[in-house]
């Protein structure tokens, strides 16, 4: 594939949605040499068509209402975003605090207190899977069941 075709492919990918530098490199790697891919990705970043900061902010905005900060940072890291940039995006883009977001997620999914220890554990696992901290999970489920954590 020529460099121009590689550029066109990169533009098509970026037109669909923002991509992290690592994602774009991975998607283009099978279509050109590592040097050509690196050159095209660098050029896209120079033209501000590709931005890890913009990708991280958009990613957090789109998933922030459903997931906890830990999960968001982990998924950003998996997509090649630096930990500091990921933490910055999470801090700047989430409008509600962690407790409120977790409470809304819990209310939407369950809506009623756990009736026994098994149900309490199921609700806690659900919130943990969504990336909420143990402290937040205990605060949400505390008092919602007669069972102690």
Query: Do the Cβ atoms of 49 and 14 come closer than 8 Å?
Result: yes
First to last CA, the chain: 59
Query: Do the Cβ atoms of 91 and 60 come closer than 8 Å?
Result: no
Which letter, b or e, does each residue of 55-75 get, where b requires 16 or more Cβ atoms within 10 Å of its Cβ? bbbebbeeebeebbbbbbbeb
Residues 89 and 78 in one domain: yes
The CATH number of whichever domain residue 130 belongs to comes to: 1.10.10
> What pLDDT score does 148 carry?
45
Of 44, 6, 50, nearest to 27 by C-alpha is 6
Query: How wide is the angle at C-alpha 24 spanned by C-alphas 22 and 30, nearest 5°?
Result: 105
> What pLDDT score does 1 carry?
78
- The domain of 84 spans 51-95
Phi, psi of 4 (to 5 degrees): -65, -40
Residues 123 and 111 in one domain: yes
Q: How far apart are CA 72 and CA 136, in angstroms?
A: 16
Statement: the pTM of the whole predicted model exceeds 0.95 = no
Number of domains present in the structure of the chain: 3
Q: Is residue 147 part of a domain?
A: no
Residues 42 and 9 in one domain: yes
Q: Is residue 67 part of a domain?
A: yes
Q: Is residue 7 part of a domain?
A: yes
Residues 105 and 70 in one domain: no
Q: Is residue 57 part of a domain?
A: yes
* Tens-binned pLDDT, residue by residue, of the chain (149 aa): 789 999 999 999 999 999 999 999 999 999 999 999 999 999 999 999 999 999 999 999 999 999 999 999 999 999 999 999 999 999 998 877 899 999 999 999 998 888 899 999 999 999 999 999 999 999 999 855 444 44
């Amino acid at each position: 594939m020529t460099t121009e075709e590689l550029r066109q492919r990169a533009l098509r990918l970026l037109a669909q949605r923002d991509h992290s530098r690592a994602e774009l490199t991975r998607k283009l790697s099978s279509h050109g040499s590592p040097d050509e891919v690196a050159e095209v990705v660098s050029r896209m970043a120079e033209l501000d068509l590709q931005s890890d900061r913009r990708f991280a902010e958009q990613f957090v905005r789109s998933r922030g209402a459903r997931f906890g900060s830990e999960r968001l940072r982990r998924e950003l890291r998996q997509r090649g975003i630096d930990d500091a940039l990921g933490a910055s995006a999470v801090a700047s883009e989430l409008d509600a605090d962690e407790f409120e977001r977790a409470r809304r997620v819990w209310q939407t999914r369950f809506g009623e207190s756990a009736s026994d220890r098994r149900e309490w554990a199921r609700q806690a696992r659900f919130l943990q899977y969504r990336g909420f901290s143990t402290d937040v999970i205990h605060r949400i489920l505390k008092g919602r069941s007669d069972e102690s954590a």
